[in-house]
Chains A and B, each alone.
Chain A
Amino acid sequence: MTGQAFFVLTALADGPRHGYGIVGEVAELSQSRVKLKIGSLYGVLERLAAEGLIEADREEAHDGRLRRYYRLTEDGRRALAEEAELRAATARVVRARLGLTGPAAAGAPG
């Protein structure tokens, strides 16, 4: 799973969001390190929808335009949980190898 896809799925984890809402949430989640352009966002959304990880939730009118909201599917929720677990485990290993201390390193394997 790409970093952008991971952030988009995470942005949808606590509820449906529309396109620009996802951009804002991803920026907040990544502490402004990931700033999705609209073209990039819809490339990711299209791929996630084709893989059945997200689906459209509803449409709402806003300033004369329709905003389409997206939500995670059950598969998307599962894929995100697995990816989060994998990334967390990797982070623990990295911290342990770097000899970093702190709460995040406490549960590091080996």
Chain B
Amino acid sequence: MTMAKILVPLTSFAKSDVVLNTAFALAHQQSAYVEVVFVHADVREAIPISDMPLGPEIVQELVDAAETGYNIAAKRIRGDFSICAAKWNVKVVGSPEKSHCATATYREHVGHLREFLDEQAPLSDLVVFPSLADGNFDHERQGLLDTLTKHGRPALLCTNVAPTTIGSNALIGWDGGDAAAIALKAALPVLESTGSVRFACVRSHGTPGRSLRDAKEYLALHGIKASESVVSSTTRSIPSELLEIAHKNGNDLLIVGGYGHSRAMETIFGGTTDYLLSHNDVPLFLAH
């Protein structure tokens, strides 16, 4: 069964072309509906809270500047939206409808990303986020965490480069743990479309979990062939080893369980997930 709805919240036009290309590439494969939303704050939030009273002209100037900024961003995003839709054969529609091809809508939402995701993420099959590398993307990072943990939905983290394919050569980081199994299940729509996946098996640190054989049998029932390689990390950390394998194999999607270890463990030991979030050079599919 393919994905029904992919949510793409954008808070700026930076990286919007990469995000839209990635989301539409996946939507094309899934014949899914994509909801692209430019989420931005109310222009009145540009007025600083201060003990010093500001003159009305200054306040107006600040509000006008914010509005101009949002209008420019919206125009750029709408432009990227149209270009990417045409490139990936995505039909632009006014509202969700069944179609044999991918469909998409664009709208704007005045508000904050986290509240927006509280409303929209639970009924989305995937939420797409821009790369978190090179800059301060706290809102997006928190939004991604909320999507995984609070809303229980998978997230797709883009790179800084628009992909030519996605999911056709997927790699899954596998340690037999709960999160890895959840990620495998969540990624089924993608893997069913392409019919194959490679497991990168890492030794689990906790109790032995599910065997690779069980995972491969489950995939076989879904018509998915699986191969495997073993990750033996002697010189580098597991997450960087995973990225290196993905790079060497030309994988176009890396699937991992997000925050499989406890958050406390991840915080203290600089966990796997956090490293991947900041360093992924291949689209990253996460589920928790």
A, B from the same assembly = no
- Residues of B bordering A, CB below 8 Å: none
